[in-house]
Amino acid sequence: MNKKISGIFVCMLLITAILPITGCVIAEDEQDPNIVDEKDDIFGIFIKNPKILNFFTKLKIFNMESFDFMDITSAWFYEYETEPDYLYASIKINDLEFTSLRVIYAIRWTYNEKNYAVSCHTHSNGEFSWFSAGRVFGLLDNWAYKMGLICDISDCKIGIEENIVTFKIPKDLVGDPESGDALTYTNAWTGLRFIFEPLTFPFGGEVAEDSTEYGGDYFIQY
């Protein structure tokens, strides 16, 4: 009897080894993200000086009770074996919601000693301004706006119920990394823009921001 059981066990192992594995996901995920961030760590001129926010609120330009819709909690990369030409990335937000304001969600990383990023801009209660991915040029403190490669809008998903923004990134737009290559210096960033772009100067482009420390490396699987 023991020999029969052993034989069956060996056969099962052989069958398992021979059968191909398809459609599986190799990933960090929401439970084990590459990047983590503290809650309630928003910064910017509205945070440093609430009087400025109150002034704009009285003018009915900004009307908000919290900045949780841009407060990052974590972010991660992943891939699907069935879609080897795409890299996926997600950002978990404290309390994601659409606003009439212009909000930016972005992830940045370094590959092959070059900086890359993916970002989407939302405004007007969820309508997209644009979704872009590619090489980052220019000053590091202005990296979200130095990308010239526009992606298909449908490849950016705003999951309100899950509080997750998801990017589907064509690998050929971000250096075409291959299996075993590492994405390093990974971090995430969000920004709330001025409604009137002339107000960008001299305060800078964002009235509130959140950014993470560098997270763990991600190794390309496919």
Ordered alpha helix ranges (H), the chain: 2-18, 45-48, 50-58, 200-203
- The pLDDT value recorded for residue 200 is 55
Question: Confidence class of residue 17 from pLDDT cuts 50, 70 and 90?
Answer: very low
- Structural contact between residues 117 and 147, judged by C-beta atoms closer than 8 angstroms: yes
Distances (CA, A) of 83 to 25, 87, 185: 10, 8, 24
Identify the burial level of 155 via C-beta atoms within 10 angstroms of its C-beta, where 0-12 means exposed, 13-18 middle and 19 or more buried: middle
More confident residue, 8 or 71: 71
Could you tell me what percent of the chain has a pLDDT over 90?
40
For the chain, the residue count is 222
Q: E strand or H helix at 136, and its extent?
A: none
Query: What is residue 176's predicted lDDT score, i.e. its pLDDT?
Result: 94
pLDDT tens digits, residue range 152-188? 777 888 888 999 999 999 999 899 999 999 999 999 9
Answer whether the bond into residue 202 is a cis peptide, omega within 30°.
Answer: yes
Say whether pLDDT at 14 is over 50.
no
Q: Where are the domains of the chain?
A: 26-219
**pLDDT band, very low/low/confident/very high, at 135 (cuts 50, 70, 90):** confident
- What value does the mean pLDDT of the chain take? 78
